[in-house]
């Protein structure tokens, strides 16, 4: 019972990661719900008493990959959801910058984006991220470095409208 209560503490982080993967609130909520159901079902079989967070992210990541493969096989097309856009007042530069960062993040390859989100956004250490994604720690470090380089070197989404930006 105590483990189930600890699941609640991780729901906000799971929702952030799911939204970053899917960009739609409804789809993200469905992914979180599916992940929590699998976690509850597997709680009795879980080995160890360590931090639940990497285990929950592993469940979510695997569920996401399985759903993505299923959609690809069925020929489904993922479309942008209208509620995925960042809605802010036009005079807020922070909102424009956030939108630009999200667009740059969307342009990253899936493997780099997953590592970046787990390490930089969710605060998982390299070993936990490697375990979550089922890859070696060196691969995590390499993908993270490449993702950071791509984000830093990418031109803004609408580069022509940014003062001082030159190709």
Q: What is the pTM of this model?
A: 0.54
Instruction: Output the DSSP codes for 118-129.
Output: IIIIS---HHHH
Q: How confident is the model over 39-55, as pLDDT tens digits?
A: 888 887 777 667 788 88
**Mean pLDDT across the stretch 60-70?**
82
Q: Are the C-beta atoms of residues 57 and 118 closer than 8 Å to each other?
A: yes
Give the separation between CA 83 and CA 66, rounded to whole angstroms.
24
- Token pair recorded at residue 157: 């989404």
**Averaged pLDDT of the chain:** 77
**112-123 pLDDT, tens digit each:** 999 998 998 888
Rounded-to-5 percentages of helix, strand, coil across the chain: 75, 0, 25
In this predicted model, which residue has the larger pLDDT, 50 or 56? 56
- Of 130, 115, 146, nearest to 54 (Cα)? 130
Mean pLDDT of 162-166: 44
| Confidence bin at 69 (pLDDT 50/70/90) | confident
Whose structure tokens read 């009795």?
44
pLDDT for the residue numbered 6: 77
Token readout for 82 is: 């209208």
* 89-109 pLDDT per residue, tens: 444 566 667 677 778 888 889
Answer for the pair 18, 29: CB distance below 8 angstroms, yes or no: yes
């Amino acid at each position: 019972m105590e483990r189930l209560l600890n699941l609640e503490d991780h729901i906000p982080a799971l929702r952030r990661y799911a939204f970053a993967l899917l960009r739609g609130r409804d789809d993200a909520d469905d992914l979180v719900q599916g992940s929590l159901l699998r976690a509850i079902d597997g709680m009795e079989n879980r080995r160890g008493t360590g931090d639940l967070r990497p285990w929950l992210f592993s469940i979510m990541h695997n569920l996401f990959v399985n759903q993505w493969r299923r959609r690809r096989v069925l020929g489904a097309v993922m479309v942008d959801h209208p509620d995925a856009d960042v809605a802010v007042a036009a005079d807020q530069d922070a909102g424009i910058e956030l939108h630009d960062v999200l667009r740059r993040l969307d342009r990253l390859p899936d493997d780099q984006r997953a590592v970046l989100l787990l390490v930089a956004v969710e605060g998982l250490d390299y070993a936990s991220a490697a375990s979550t994604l089922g890859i070696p720690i060196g691969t995590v470090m390499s993908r993270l470095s490449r993702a950071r380089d791509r984000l830093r070197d990418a031109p803004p989404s609408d580069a022509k409208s940014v003062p001082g930006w030159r190709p």
